[in-house]
Chains A and B, each alone.
Chain A
Amino acid sequence: MPKRADIDKILVIGSGSIVIGQGCEFDYSGTQGIKALRQDGYKVVLVNSNPATIMTDPGMADRTYIEPLTPDFLERILEKEKPQAILPTLGGQTALNLTVAAAERGLLKKYGVELLGAKLETIRKAEDRQLFKQAMLAIGLDLPRSMVVTDVSEVKQAGRELGFPVIVRASFTLGGSGGGIAYHLEELRERVHTALEASPIKKVLLEESVLGWKEYELEVMRDCKDNFVVVCPIENMDPMGIHTGDSITVAPAQTLSDRQYQEMRDDAKKIISAIGVETGGCNIQFAVHPKTGRRVVIEINPRVSRSSALASKATGFPIAKIAAKLAVGYSLDEILNDITRATPACFEPSIDYVVVKAPRFAVEKFGEFPLDTAMKSVGETMAIGRTFKEALQKALRGLENGRKGFEAAALPPSGDLDAEETLIEKLAMPSSSRIYVIKTALDRGMSPEDISEITKIDPWFIHQMKEIVDLEKELAGKSLNEDSLREAKRLGLSDATLARLSGKAENWIRAQRRRWGVRPVYKLVDTCAGEFRSQTPYLYSTYEETGDLKVRPTKKKVVIIGSGPNRIGQGIEFDYCCVQASIALRELGYESIMLNCNPETVSTDYDTSDRLYFEPLTLEDALEVIEHEKPAGVIVQFGGQTPLNLVLPLSKAGVNILGTQPRSIDVAEDRRLFEKALRVLGIPAPANGIATDARQALRLARKLGYPVIIRPSYVLGGRAMEIVYDDDSLRDYLKRTLPTVDHPSLLVDRFLSDATEVDVDAISDGTDVFVAGIMEHIEEAGIHSGDSACTIPPHSLPPAIIETISRYTKALALHLKVMGLINIQFAVKDGSVYILEANPRASRTVPFVSKATGIPLAKLATHVMMGRKLRRLLPTRLLRSSPLPLPYTATKEAVLPFIKFPGIDPKLGPEMKSTGEVMGIDQDFARSFAKSQEASGLSLPGSGSVFISVRDEDKPEMLKIARSLRGLGFSIVATHNTYQFLARHGIESTRVAKIGEGKPDVVDLLKQKNLSLVINTPSGKRSRADGYAIRRSALELNIPCITNIHSCQAAVNAIAVLRESPLDVRSLQDYYKQLPYRPMLRF
């Protein structure tokens, strides 16, 4: 059937901020979908609050709304744009939930919009456990026994009927949040309580345990003619009970016979039609009993998902793009397979390699957590190899967690009973490091059968791992020869691992490999196992005889090193930059070659670059690709810290680094060299020094004067960075931190209390410097810049300060000989500007500044790096007028994952904890701030009671806030001290008991939902227990809680402005019309 002619404008809903459970896979799918729809001539309106996405680039959709994803804002967009249809299936759970909320408000009827891809009925059937169960039973499928509860009182009966353990799932939540496993009645009661809180519809599903069963996912598609294909069967190595996002998963399925697999496929076909997914893709999960083969349906997602992004990358079948085409009426046989460009998309990919996905956990931020049905990982890597062993090794070494592949965990040495017990305990408890514990167990000779029995991981996987261990044992103590080296590489062992095993240097292994000709070849991902010729160069390395493609000997090509798995501190922003760079290179007539291993991203879409190498971003893997391709140079500026870490070794190996040279990077990163540069330039910095042991640190801190900010050198995302106020807390810090760092080198800076922090993004070509964005932070210096809200243009800095910042930026960029992007952080205190740090690379804020100003910074920087001059690229007026005059304000707000980590204090500090960001854009700061809060999920109340409890330093500021709140009609609730303090200043408040002072206390008030806002700033010296309880309760009860006095002021201003008139919506394209210069420049 041809595409539909009765609609011409379609609204696509994005997925908002990156959160755990919803990563950048939805930028990938949304971008694909939007491109496909526009190619077919549809006008596309996009709404997404996340500025760090490619999809929100103003050239992507016809109209781009960076607005909060709430029914109110959606309604205003519908009103303004009048689309005939909404495509809700590309924006994850967020988009589906928003669509359901809009439908329930009657918005679809009111504005006459139709849902494409999934009808309301379909979404309900898939999401509502009860309806789903009915639908499955009606088509004769087997499910785990289950029941729905809406109240804690029902748990006793549930426990009796289902037997323990019981699985708890909250309806309509992301990444399984609010769910869990209960092993006994008390735990069940607790879990159900939390889940009820998390579920927007107050329903919780309790299920018969299928813990330890084999877990499978099918990615399927169906069109309007009822054609049905399975894109890919995925087998989860980790069994049922561990969220699929936290599991190591493998494609295709490994341990099912054809008959068993086809029966599962038959079920999937029945399910998609019973649920009513008429056009598009969906993900169906099954559990299979390992001994009996009993197969039960677990769930279905009637939309593209993390797994469908994985399946797309694993097979080369672009699910989101095709889903978008199916949604507008095409059938599968009318769409061409992009890869072969000769056969239709109506087929099932056959792959001739093995794909392994491994989750990336934020262990360095939140520690080790046991894994369960609520997702905890923050990113993932995918790897392709010709065997599971090779792919597993590549996936693990791509994680950048300090390990070089499949390595043993650090456990007490074997020998005694205790060690044995620890090992078994660690095997039994699923955790982020269990894969390494398995290695230890195999090293110590435990049998695969025993390991499988304890872990419930299918023995097939353990036997595969044992083959690796067996080879390692064979290699141990022998010198490598050509044969054994080749054998080891075929099993995926990295040069680094081989170096460790043979006691040689990694370079030696590499040299040896070259001598013997043990080099990888590159094979194609082609959807058809070689049956048809592939037109799309999507490659992976493997140690086989022959590669698929001959490399063209042109010099006009550039390799871009991507940013690897998402993690806290390095997320989608960097992928955005890499994609922009690739587009720029292609515009400049270069072949762009992308190197990355993150399956969620746009950069690993096969049509983003001229060639895509799906490879781990280690020195070994990068060097091999570079030597294979022989490019003119390599771009390392855009992928965050990952490629930056490779700069020195790459350049030592003779690789040409484009843009800012390694020497300059070194100056910026080396404390002493940087100091020297600042002295030459006369740029002040907070007094500081370096300490190499505890004694020195104490002496230095006293010399600088408390408070000081302290961190180990060379860390990412402010890891282990803390502000300490006295000797005691410094000693405590040293005790915790020193044992965890290899080479104790601690950077100690005088901490500027209450200073305003400023972030600057600039581009230099060596002659001119374009200061593109000066962002003023809302939170004071000391809160990690990634966790701070910030605004562009600055909302309170005087022109003289801005002028100074601009001047310092230019001077430093030129001095460092920056070619391309530089990000500098400043602190402003008492009218003086201090530099905190400089990073000569793309920063997290590049996409935000690009969206706010309409100038695509990463693209511009790429042109500069390829030798073009800013003077030729930008109108002189624009180059001189930096910072840019913006007639509106954009505010970026961070989104934090605290709710996923029980026991973590939800407060901000110098160590970054956010997973993503949102942007609010409006005419003035207060309004843009209000939007940013709304978009981050913190809905500012218009009335009600506010609980205030602040540290002493914040009390003067707090008075102003309290007065404003009273003026706005809020009532104030406070504990004894604050109550008296307020009374002394003539502000009326209600007294409430502190925790431990009697009932009801403040937490009770929260639980009774008698508070609409909590203002609680943690005391600087140490987090007090009741402060923690208040913040944590507010978080769990979803009551807005502000932990910083500066954001509090901004919030109160925003509340006041909201009183005047409600927030309006406007597209980026419309905002840009107000600019005094031409935005969205093509260079």
Chain B
Amino acid sequence: MKISAALVLEDGSVFKGRSCGAEGEACGELVFNTSMTGYQEVLTDPSYKGQIVTMTYPQIGNYGITADDNESRKAHLSGFVVRELCRKPSNWQCVEPLDFFLRKHGIVAIENVDTRALTLRIREKGALRALISTTDLDAKSLQAKVKKVPSIAGLDLAKEVSCHDKYLWNEGYRDLGRPLHVVVYDFGVKFGILRCLASVGCRVTVLPAQTPASEALALKPDGILLSNGPGDPEPARYAVEAIKALLDKRIPLFGICLGHQLLGLALGGKTFKLKFGHHGANHPVSDLETGRVEITAQNHGFCVDIDSLPKSVRTTHINLNDKTSEGMAHQQLPVFSVQYHPEASAGPHDSRYLFTRFRELMIERKESPSRC
């Protein structure tokens, strides 16, 4: 094998491999994703901003890139690491091979890496700062460079991936009778969430992350969705302030992922960084109210501290693997959120009922505004 790319970690270890994406250098926090399918969704998920993702499944790109599975308009992650990238994909929906896509979107990628060894290292040491280069293969020089990569904690990445201007979303709209209007705070929203909202009869307006609450409320929405997004919730103080204002207005709120964490902060809770996060499509989450388990898609490096939440908030879902917070609801307000991704994409569709629950909450609130 001709060595044409290298991956270096902050602990000094170097993995040599072959370049399979754009040429250049990319740095970020290295995490692993355990989904066996859905690399296209991962590549286009804004929540991966600032991260290098290694896929634990060794053969990536088998079905190529499809026209309908993008989660945003571009690829957001910094770099991509795989064991083997497939250049001859096969699928009836395939429009181009994965390596074309990577180059088109300027994603630096490396293959022929022992991704399991890499994964075990991340498991033991936690998410690590890392750098991929196709231009510099010198170990010493790379080790020096990786030390300068900033940590993801404390960075406000949401603002970077959010839209600059508001826009409307109608794709996948299903008329279910009572049309509802939902405003989405875009901290890095996935199209999957917008599609799910539309599919339960919502007209959607997407707003930039830093929109003040008053502007959002001026659109007279029936409910507001706080979207997923990348990185650490702490630096996004503007969002926490806006959410506090929305809470005062008792408007139905649904938080997903980063939205869940921001809501937690706005309610007075705290968040903390997980060792290597949850990134995959097989995490069991228990619905504490029904006792049922949902197999969920997850993608987060930070987490709401359950014990830090005020009494007015009850935990509705927990992760069965590590017992961390997966969902909460306000005892009095029409407000709930989940840490995982009910829209899935990629992942099982077990939790899509939450969009219906949000719809019902909005209808209830609309019909008897005084009750909540």
Q: For window 268-315 of chain B, which residues contact chain A by CB distance below 8 Å?
A: 280-284, 286, 291-293, 295
B348 at the A/B interface (Cβ < 8 Å)?
yes
A290 contact set on B, CB distance < 8 A = 92
Complex interface: chain A residues within 8 A of B89 (CB): 460
Q: Which residues of A contact B63 (CB under 8 A)?
A: 255-257, 260
In the complex, the chain B residue whose C-beta lies closest to that of A547 is B117
When the two chains form their complex, are residues B114 and A262 in contact, meaning their CB atoms are under 8 A apart?
no
Taking a contact as CB atoms under 8 Å apart, the answer to whether A545 and B280 are in contact is no
Q: Is B143 an interface residue (CB 8 A)?
A: no
Docked complex Cα distance between A353 and B58 (Å): 6
* Contact yes or no, B91 A352, CB < 8 A: no
Residues from chain A with a CB closer than 8 A to the CB of B1 are 483, 486-487
Known: A265-B349, A354-B59. A258 touches B295 (CB 8 A): no
Instruction: Give the CA-CA distance A575 to B372 in the complex, in Å.
Output: 66
- Which residue of B88, B90, B291 has the most chain A CB atoms within 10 A of its CB atom? B90
A350 in contact with B84 (CB, 8 Å): no
A-B contact pairs, 15 of them (CB 8 A): A225-B291, A258-B37, A258-B41, A260-B63, A262-B349, A293-B92, A344-B284, A346-B295, A350-B36, A386-B83, A386-B116, A460-B88, A531-B32, A531-B123, A545-B114
Chain A 445-485 residues near chain B, CB threshold 8 A: 448, 458-460, 463, 483
Interface contact A350-B56, CB-CB below 8 Å: yes
Cβ A225 vs Cβ B292 within 8 A: yes
A531 with B280, Cβ < 8 A, contacts A256-B63, A257-B93, A293-B92 known: yes
A257, closest chain B residue (CB): B63
Q: Which residues of A contact B84 (CB under 8 A)?
A: 386-387
B66 beta carbon closer than 8 Å to chain A: yes
Asked if B34 and A528 sit within 8 Å, CB to CB, the answer is yes
A977 within 8 A of B: no
Given contacts A350-B34, A460-B89, contact A258 B345 (CB under 8 A): yes
Is there an interface contact between B57 and A458, defined as CB atoms closer than 8 Å? no
Please classify how large the interface on chain A is, using the bins under 10, 10 to 19, 20 to 34, 35 or more.
35 or more
Residue of B nearest to A531 (CB): B34
Kindly provide the distance from the CB of A525 to the nearest chain B CB, expressed in whole angstroms. Answer: 11
- CB neighbours (8 Å) of A483 from chain B are 1
A544 pairs with B117, CB closer than 8 A: yes
Considering the chains assembled together, what is the distance between the CA atoms of A387 and B69 in angstroms? Answer: 25
Excluding A230-B348, A257-B38, A262-B344, 7 further A-B contacts by CB distance (< 8 Å) are A228-B350, A254-B59, A254-B62, A257-B37, A257-B66, A354-B59, A530-B120
Tell me the A733-769 residues at the B interface (CB within 8 Å). Answer: none
Contact B348 A262 (CB under 8 A): yes
A73 within 8 A of B: no
Give A186 Cβ to nearest chain B Cβ, in Å.
35
Among B56, B119, B295, B346, contact of A347 (Cβ-Cβ < 8 Å): B295
**B295: which of A229, A254, A343, A532 is its contact (CB, 8 Å)?**
A229
Residues of A373-388 whose CB lies within 8 A of B: 386-388
In the complex, B35 has a CB within 8 A of chain A: yes
Contacts of B68 in A (CB 8 A): 259
The answer to whether A292 has its CB under 8 Å from any CB of chain B is: yes
Question: A239 at interface (Cβ–Cβ under 8 A)?
Answer: no
Do A533 and B123 have beta carbons less than 8 Å apart?
A: yes
Q: A386 touching B36 by the CB < 8 A rule?
A: no
**Is A348 an interface position by the 8 A CB rule?**
yes
Is A332 in the interface zone, CB < 8 Å from B? yes
Query: Do B292 and A255 touch across chains, with their CB atoms under 8 A apart?
Result: no
**B contact face: mostly helix, strand, loop, or mixed:** loop
Q: Is the CB of B90 within 8 A of A460?
A: yes
Contact (Cβ within 8 A) A352 B116: yes
Which residue from A259, A331, A333, A463 sits with its C-beta under 8 Å from B69?
Answer: A259
* Beta-carbon contacts under 8 Å, B98-132 to A: 114-117, 119-120, 123
Say yes or no: A291 contacts B92, CB within 8 Å.
yes
A523 close to chain B: CB less than 8 A: yes
Interface pair A546/B283, CB less than 8 Å apart: no
Given A255-B62, A262-B344, A344-B284: A350 in contact with B35 (beta carbons within 8 A): yes
Given the contacts A257-B69, A291-B92, A252 and B293 also touching, CB distance less than 8 Å: no
B320 at the interface (CB under 8 A from A): yes
Q: Beta-carbon contacts of A246-270 to B below 8 Å, as 1s and 0s?
A: 0000001111111111100110000
| B332 within 8 Å of A (CB atoms) | no
The residue in B86, B284, B350 that gathers the most chain A C-beta atoms within 10 A of its C-beta is B284
Least Cβ distance of B88 to chain A in Å? Answer: 4
Nearest to A467 among chain B residues (CB) is B88
Asked, given contacts A352-B116, A548-B120, whether A227 binds B32 with beta carbons under 8 Å apart, the answer is no
- Name the interface residues of B316-333: CB closer than 8 Å to any CB of A: 320-321
Cβ of B54 to closest chain A Cβ, rounded Å: 10
B88 touches A352 (CB 8 A): no
Using Cβ atoms and an 8 Å threshold, which residues of chain B touch A544?
114, 116-117
Q: What's the tally of chain B residues with a CB closer than 8 Å to chain A?
A: 54
Cβ < 8 Å to B, chain A residues 250-300: 252-262, 265-266, 289-293
What is the chain B residue whose CB lies nearest that of A263? B349
Kindly provide the distance from the CB of A448 to the nearest chain B CB, expressed in whole angstroms: 8
The yes or no answer to B339 lying at the interface (CB within 8 A) is no
Does A139 interact with chain B (Cβ within 8 Å)? no
Report if A293-B93 is in contact (Cβ < 8 Å); known contacts: A258-B346, A347-B295.
yes
Residue in chain A with minimal CB distance to B119: A530
Question: A281: shortest Cβ distance to chain B, in Å?
Answer: 16
Contacts of A523 in B (CB 8 A): 116
Is A633 engaged at the interface, CB distance under 8 Å to the other chain?
Answer: no
B32 contacts across to A, CB distance below 8 A: 529-531
Pair A258/B38 contact, Cβ less than 8 Å:
yes
Does A837 sit within 8 A of B, measured CB to CB? no
Q: A879 within 8 Å of B by Cβ?
A: no
Residue of chain A at shortest CB distance from B122:
A530
Give A527-562 interface residues, CB cut-off 8 Å to B: 528-533, 544-546, 548
The interface residues of chain A lying within 8 Å CB-to-CB of B293 are 225, 227, 332-333, 346
Q: Which residue of A lies closest to B282 (CB)?
A: A348
**Contact bitstring A681-702, B, C-beta under 8 A = 1, else 0:** 0000000000000000000000
Residue B162 is within 8 A (CB to CB) of chain A in the complex: no
Contact A261 B295 (CB under 8 A): no
Q: Contact: B280 with A262, CB < 8 Å?
A: no
The docked-state distance in angstroms from the alpha carbon of A788 to that of B303 is 67
Question: By the criterion CB–CB under 8 Å, are A352 and B120 in contact?
Answer: no
User: Separation in Å of the A261 CB from the closest CB of chain B?
Assistant: 5
Please judge, given known A-B contacts A259-B345, A350-B36, whether A292 and B92 are in contact too, CB under 8 Å: yes
Question: Which residues of chain B come closer than 8 Å to A1057, judged between CB atoms?
Answer: none
B348 is contacted by which of A265, A349, A388, A548 (Cβ under 8 Å)? A265
B228 interface hit (Cβ, 8 Å):
no
In the complex, the chain A residue whose C-beta lies closest to that of B84 is A387
Choose among A227, A483, A533 the residue with the greatest number of B CB atoms under 10 Å from its CB: A227
A350–B114 alpha-carbon span in the complex (Å): 17
B62-88 residues at the A interface, CB under 8 angstroms: 62-63, 66, 68-69, 83-84, 86, 88
Give the residue name and chain of the B residue nearest to A345 (CB). Answer: B284
- Chain B residue with Cβ nearest A548: B120
Nearest CB of A to B63, in Å:
5
CA distance A386 to B114 in the complex (A): 9
Tell me how far the C-beta of A455 lies from the nearest C-beta in chain B, rounded to whole angstroms: 14
CB-CB under 8 A from B320, the residues of chain A are 333, 343-344, 346-347
Residue B347 at the A interface, CB < 8 A? yes
Instruction: Write out the residue numbers on chain B whose beta carbons fall within 8 Å of the beta carbon of A333.
Output: 284, 286, 293, 320
Task: List the B side residues contacting A530 at CB < 8 Å.
Answer: 32, 34, 56, 116, 119-120, 123
| Across-interface contacts of B59 in A (CB, < 8 A) | 254, 354, 387-388
Q: Which of B40, B83, B92, B282 touches A350 (beta carbons < 8 Å)?
A: B282
Write out the residue numbers on chain A whose beta carbons fall within 8 Å of the beta carbon of B69: 257-259
Q: Give the complex CA separation of A544 and B17 in angstroms.
A: 12
Q: Does A968 contact B (CB under 8 A)?
A: no
* Distance, CA A438 to CA B45, complexed state (A): 40
Residues of the A chain whose Cβ atoms lie less than 8 Å from the Cβ of B119: 352, 529-531
A226 touching B292 in the complex, CB below 8 Å, given contacts A352-B58, A463-B88: yes
What is the chain B residue whose CB lies nearest that of A461?
B90
Q: How far is the CA of A349 from the CA of B57 in the complex (A)?
A: 12
